[in-house]
Amino acid sequence: MCGIVGYTGNENAAPILLAGLTKLEYRGYDSAGIAVRDLSRDDVAVVKSPGRLLNLIQKTDNGASVPGTCGVGHTRWATHGEPTETNAHPHSSADDDVVGVHNGIIENYQELKEKLLRHGYVFHSETDTEVAVNLVDYYYKKYKIGPIDAIAKAMVRIRGSYALALMFRDLPGEIWVARKDSPMVIGVTENSAFVASDVPAILSYTRQVYYIDNLEMARLTPGHVSFFNLDGDEVFKDLTEITWDAEAAEKGGFEHFMLKEIHEQPRAVRDTLGSYIREGAVDLSATGLTEELLRSLERIYIIGCGSAYHVGVSAKYVLEDMADIPVEVDLASEFRYRDPKIVKNSLVVVISQSGETADTLAALRLAKERGVPVLGIVNVVGSTIARECDYCMYTYAGPEIAVATTKAYSAQLINVYALAIELGRVRGVITEDRCGELISELNALPDKMAKVLENKERIQWFAAKYANARDIFFIGRGVDHAISLEGSLKMKEISYIHSEAYAAGELKHGTISLIEDGTLVIGVLTQNELLEKTVSNMVECKARGAYLMGLTSYGNYNIEDTANFTIYVPKAERHFIGSLAIIPLQLLGYYTGVAKGVDVDKPRNLAKSVTVE
Ligand code: G6P
């Protein structure tokens, strides 16, 4: 996601900020900016530029045109508002007394913005960051308190995730930071101090770092850093020495981006939930969808490619069940050429991480030509699909670097669940009480996902054992079928092992002839009412020599009577448990690829964004 760099010391800050931002380019961004000040000046120079960092480097003559020894810089990956110069960070408070950069998502920024508007604040951008900067300024002035108390008051009011780096006009040479759920590291040397979203940005200046914890603040001055908790009490921390090399540092210590992104899923899901669940209810106001439109729908068409299509398959099961509405799922490349018969009062939902996939875009345009409203479920703000759809429901996964999608897929599922609950509610299929229960189940998912990740060593062991497999089959029914499709795709794209997913009941209509001694068959068994039926299909495979892996929830221990190896995930609401079950399968694909020596982040023949049909 966004990248933050801050520096205070004796050197010119701008070149250091730009060099640091260059090291954070891997995080993905669509605009950049810096704010720099001199100890002698009380104004701050802010320079921003949309597009590549190179634009900002050229605009500032590699920093030379922005003198000053204290500053903050930012690469923005758009979440609230298009990637324009106005929306780029840093943002300044209404009278430029506070300047800051932010990484994360402020869920209640609309409510905070309204409060500040009532107090005469003026906003120039569409960002949640500008709201945060002004909120700090508001408390700073209202109570005439120091920065710690002003920031702490703002932290108490802000819901969501943030790493904030701020400069105050009346505190030259100081950078103030605050953190909740967004990464931030602070480095120090004898004469300087640094803050960054990730270690690579500061690694060439120092290996001595502090890790600021959640709900903590820090004050940086040249050569010194002090930390404070929300009560304003000073907190003492030990320095850590970074021993990684620069390349490992970019991946946050993970061996590959894919593994890092698998681990980012609880955060991606939490951020996405935070955007569509407010005060215990689904809130789709940010998408533009209205209750009237949702109530009037007679059919939904879901379209995507690859993993996005697999989200559509899950969505069919979930939406038909929870909202009692017919759903058709199509591969975009098929939909666009098959003259689809779209009934009236329909909604077309296109799902795409990149928002640029050529076939998905063509399907969107076809639907619009036919006068059907289109909802886009998109990860990249300002992408073509995001701009052309009638309603846009962003996912908040952050940029994905690994070609094989993981966290964007998980965030897309969350959007589908939120849509299903809201559709079910407005159509009178689920009661308010049931909505409340379902929302609690959704809110519990990130912690449960983190629990699944704790179990990864067992999967790693199993992957090493099966890395030489020739064929792998994934089977399941209902939601488990949808998860099997995605698990199988992960396996084939990054391990190059032939694998296929089948609806469990379909296996005996041909595919079972491929089962030989030792063929691995993975049964996904999270749907309790369908479990016995899938187990029967697994037994049929075992009778023909298959080696069985079962994937189920804790409690279903009798699976071990049939399966040779079983992986458990926490119990969860049956419509949502796919969000947990997919993680072991992502890990299985990943570790199998690693065991085979595949370049898992960039598997052969594949592209992250497929902009040709
Ligand atoms: C490519 C990627 C897949 C992705 C698909 C759709 O094939 O390798 O991981 O699922 O495109 O991409 P989209 O950006 O539309 O979600």
Mean pLDDT is lowest, of 70-74, 238-242, 388-392, 440-444, for: 238-242
pLDDT of residue 314: 98
Per-residue pLDDT tens over the stretch 48-69: 999 999 999 999 999 999 999 9
CB 305 within 8 A of CB 329: no
- pLDDT for 608 equals 74
pLDDT per residue over 90-99, tens digit each?
999 988 999 9
Ligand 1 centroid distance, CA of 325 (Å): 27
Q: Report percent pLDDT > 70 for the chain.
A: 99
Residue 192: CB partners within 8 Å, gap ≥ 6? 7, 8, 9, 10, 11, 205, 206, 222, 223
Average pLDDT over residues 554-571: 95
Tens digits of residue pLDDT in 303-316: 999 999 999 999 99
Q: Note the pLDDT of residue 520.
A: 96
Two structure tokens written together for 385: 């699909």
Nearest atom in ligand 1 to 607's CA: 8
Average pLDDT value over all residues in the chain: 93
The Å distance, Cα 470 to ligand 1 centre, comes to: 25
Residue 377 CB: number of other CB atoms within 10 A? 33
Ligand 1 pocket, residues with Cβ under 6 angstroms: 305-308, 352-354, 357, 360, 403-405, 606, 608-610
From 258, 353, 409, give the residue whose CB has the most ligand 1 atoms within 8 Å, as the site to mutate: 353
pLDDT for 511: 85
The residue with greater pLDDT, 251 or 413, is 413
Question: Ligand 1: distance of its center to the CA of 327 in Å?
Answer: 22
Dist. CA 307 → ligand 1 center (Å): 6
Residue 1 has a pLDDT of 65
Q: Which residues contact 393 (CB under 8 A, 6 or more apart)?
A: 276, 284, 286, 287, 289, 375, 376, 377, 378, 415, 419
Which atom of ligand 1 approaches the CA of 385 most closely?
15
**What is the number of the ligand 1 atom nearest to the C-alpha of 403?**
8
Half-sphere exposure of 287 (CA within 13 A, CB side): 29
Q: Are 178 and 162 in contact (CB under 8 A)?
A: yes
| 32 DSSP β-pair partners | 49, 75
How many angstroms does the Cα of residue 606 sit away from the middle of ligand 1? 9
CA geometry: angle 550, 551, 554, nearest 5 deg: 115
Which of 405, 490, 494 to probe ligand 1 with, by most ligand atoms within 8 A of CB? 405
> Which residue's CA is the closest to the ligand 1 atom numbered 15?
352
Please give the pLDDT value at position 80.
82
Contact 186, 27 (CB under 8 A): no
- In this prediction, what percent of the chain has a pLDDT beyond 90? 83
Indicate if the pLDDT at residue 244 is higher than 80. no
Q: How far apart are CA 491 and CA 472, in angstroms?
A: 9
The ligand 1 atom at the shortest distance from the C-alpha of residue 493 is 8
Question: Is the pLDDT score of 102 beyond 90?
Answer: yes
Rounded to whole angstroms, the Cα distance separating 171 from 299 reads 59
Catalytically active residues are 2, 608
Cα(286)–Cα(75) distance, integer angstroms: 24
Tens of pLDDT along 181-202? 888 999 999 999 999 998 889 9
Instruction: Kindly tell me if the per-residue pLDDT of 613 is higher than 70.
Output: no
What's this model's pTM, rounded to 2 decimal places? Answer: 0.82
- Residues contacting 114, CB < 8 A, separation 6+: none
Query: Measured between alpha carbons, how far is 364 from 355 in angstroms, rounded to an integer?
Result: 11
- Asked whether the predicted pLDDT for residue 342 surpasses 80, the reply is yes
At 258 the three-state DSSP class reads helix
Mean pLDDT computed over 116-130: 95
pLDDT score of 580: 98
